[in-house]
Structure 1
Amino acid sequence: MLAGRVLHQNIFVAGLRLSKALLKLEVNRRHAAIYRKFMSMPGMGGKKSKKKEYYGRKLVGYSMEQMFNVVSDVENYTSFVPFCKKSDVFLKLPTRMRANLEIGFPPVVERYTSDVTLERPTLVRAECTEGKLFDHLQTVWKFSPGMADNQQTCIIDFFVSFEFRSLLHSQLAHFFFNELVRQMENAFIQEVANRYGKASVKSRMLKNVHFNS
């Protein structure tokens, strides 16, 4: 009778373990199905989705000098640049700047060193160095004369290019990239308005291209 009871218990334990194993397999199967669906969405998977780039050209109602002053004001990025949590400048020269930055927009948080090239009042170029998430990150602002009869205008050429080390982060970037770039570009122009007042003319897009490579 004791042997029968032990046998019954062993069968019960074995059945319980089998049930748990089957449940785990079902959960894994469902997760795999969700992942396959995620990967099959337009623009997901493959090498083309890893690198994201944006180029825009815009006429604004502020001078080249005014735009340059705001874009090159890296130490104050935390006060007006979306998702910028830290901006500590540790090297500042007339033509070069280095700063430790931290950006955070779910699910990405990155701390890196930004090497900034300055050519007053025509160029601000920043490149990520010593970062963990990005293989490559570059932003370029170029400023050129605007309307011939209005010195308080200029043309902005704005370029952003980045590539994550992680394929997963690259795939997630597919969803937020365009909105992130739009917010960042608008934040700089809004900061110029806060500092220098109303624009002399209404901003208008001259060229706007989103593309992957």
Structure 2
Amino acid sequence: MPRHHETRELPYSDEQMFALVTDIARYPEFLPWIVALRVRSDSEREALADMIVGFKGLRESFSCRVHKERPRAVTVSYIDGPMKHLSNEWHFAPLAAGGCRVDFMVDFSFRNRVFETLAGQMFDKALRKMIAAFEARAGDLYGAGSSISSDGRSESLSG
């Protein structure tokens, strides 16, 4: 049911944003509603993870596969859990002036009517909170004024 697509231009390189998004073991440190996370396997191309999400006393766990195409794309495939389906994609493209464009898409629906109703009511607010959490995490990790290019060089983004 809920589906969202958003594009942002950020002062971080595609490599930095790729690294942040694929560091799923750290999600409980900065993403709201992730109560616990276990990485079952993690390689250069793919990760498998189990996550417990909680909201107002409700908790559900699910498993997903994270496909990685460094540094351009991350695609999350749903394996099992309370969802009917889950699709999540991140695309990163370097900008000529520095930084990168981030395209984010999420599409999901729950099997549980209570979760589906809550998701529908809270979707926009929750999504804004999660996107803000990723941006804040990027700022914490990389600062606001520099990025590392795809070739590993440090670049200044201020003037």
TM-score (norm 1): 0.65
Aligned match of 1:135 in 64, 84, 96? 84
Alpha-carbon distance in 1 for matches of 2:145, 2:78: 32
Q: Which has the larger share of helix?
A: 1
The alignment covers a number of residue pairs equal to 148
**3-state SS in 2 of match to 1:56:** strand
Aligned match of 1:98 in 25, 48, 53? 48
Number of the residue aligned with 1:24: none
Residue segments in structure 2 that go unaligned for 5+ positions in a row: 147-156
**3-state SS in 2 of match to 1:121:** coil
Q: Residue 187 of structure 1: CA displacement?
A: 0.7
Q: Judging changes above 3 Å, is the alpha-carbon distance between structure 1 residues 108 and 123 closer, same or farther for their aligned structure 2 residues? A: farther
Q: Residue 167 of structure 1: CA displacement?
A: 3.2
Over the aligned positions, Cα root-mean-square deviation in angstroms equals 1.7
Q: Once superposed, which parts of structure 1, at least 4 consecutive aligned residues long, lie more than 6 Å away?
A: none
Aligned match of 1:185 in 131, 137, 141? 131
* Correspondence 1:109-188 to 2 at 5 A: 109-131=59-81, 133-146=82-95, 148-150=96-98, 153-188=99-134
TM-score (norm 2): 0.86
Residue segments in structure 1 that go unaligned for 5+ positions in a row: 1-50, 203-213
Structure showing greater radius of gyration is 1
Alpha-carbon distance in 2 for matches of 1:107, 1:167: 15
Q: Judging changes above 3 Å, is the alpha-carbon distance between structure 1 residues 119 and 75 closer, same or farther for their aligned structure 2 residues? A: same
Q: Which has the larger share of strand?
A: 2
What amino acid maps onto 1:160 in structure 2?
V
